[in-house]
């Protein structure tokens, strides 16, 4: 049901003309590449043709402002897998917003969402505590509204996949597993 070619077409039809940006299926690590002498458009390169990777990389693009979208990987330094506790906390603080948007994109596409702490070989943190922060940020975005680019893509995904529109907080019911055991 979720073909990467469909997502690429939806993204390109929504943003290629207006933002000179394209979604590109990559081989290995994801990267954002602004237009240059070799390539006349901005590239959101996602890993291995995975649908979830594409949604995640799109979410980062949707968060990035106009100036950041002129810099490779939006001008951020990425600390790879193997982060210590402090580095992981910094990673999660930065990842809350894009993962909240990714969750909304996933819902609009009718695709299962899973948070990613992305640190398999490093300090392990509570995935559920991070998901709780992502969930709270998502609810805040639903209440305050998404930026124009995010709104446009959410609507395009919902139209294509015939999912409920507009998105509401009722579509994102989630509780920390610790809270569930307390209720019993």
CB 16 within 8 A of CB 22: yes
SS3 146: coil
The H or E element spanning position 25 is: strand 21-25
Residues 6+ apart with CB under 8 A from 47: 26, 27, 28, 29, 30, 53
What phi-psi label fits residue 45: left (phi over 0), alpha (psi between -120 and 50 degrees) or beta? beta
The pair phi, psi for residue 37, each rounded to 5°, is -65, -30
> 10-residue block means of pLDDT along the chain (184 residues)?
96 98 93 97 96 96 97 82 71 90 98 78 67 96 98 98 97 80 51
pLDDT at residue 27, rounded to an integer: 86
pTM of the model: 0.91
Query: What pLDDT score was predicted for residue 124?
Result: 62
Please give the Cα distance from 163 to 131 (Å, whole number): 23
Asked whether the beta carbons of 135 and 179 are under 8 A apart, the reply is no
Count of CB atoms within 10 A of residue 165's CB? 12
Q: What is the pLDDT of residue 17?
A: 98
- Over residues 79-116, the pLDDT tens digits come to 666 667 777 778 788 889 999 999 999 999 999 999 88
**3-class DSSP state for residue 27?**
coil
Cis peptide before 166 (omega within 30 of 0): yes
Question: Alpha-carbon distance 134 to 111, whole Å?
Answer: 17
Confidence at residue 15, expressed as pLDDT on a 0 to 100 scale = 98
Q: Give residue 60's pLDDT.
A: 96
pLDDT at 103: 98
Q: Which residues neighbour 174 within 8 Å (Cβ) at sequence distance 6 or greater?
A: 131, 132, 135
Residue 79 is predicted with a pLDDT of 62
Position 83 scores a pLDDT of 64
User: In this structure, how many other beta carbons lie within 10 angstroms of the beta carbon of residue 19?
Assistant: 14
């Amino acid at each position: 049901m979720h073909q990467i070619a469909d997502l690429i077409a939806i993204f390109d039809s929504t943003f290629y003309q207006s933002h000179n940006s394209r979604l590109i299926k990559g081989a290995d690590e994801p990267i954002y590449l602004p237009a240059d002498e070799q390539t006349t458009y901005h590239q959101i390169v996602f890993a291995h043709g995975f649908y979830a990777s594409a949604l995640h990389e799109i979410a980062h693009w949707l968060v990035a402002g106009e100036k950041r979208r002129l810099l490779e990987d939006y001008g951020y330094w990425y600390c790879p897998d193997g982060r210590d506790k402090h580095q992981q906390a910094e990673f999660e603080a930065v990842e809350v917003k894009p993962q909240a948007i990714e969750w909304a994109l996933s819902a609009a596409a009718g695709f299962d969402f899973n948070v990613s702490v992305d640190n398999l070989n490093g300090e392990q943190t509570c995935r559920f505590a991070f998901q709780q922060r992502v969930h709270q940020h998502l609810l805040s975005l639903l209440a305050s509204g998404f930026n124009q680019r995010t709104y446009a893509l959410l609507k395009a995904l919902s139209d294509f996949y015939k999912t409920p529109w507009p998105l509401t907080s009722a579509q994102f019911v989630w509780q920390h597993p610790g809270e569930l055991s307390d209720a019993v």
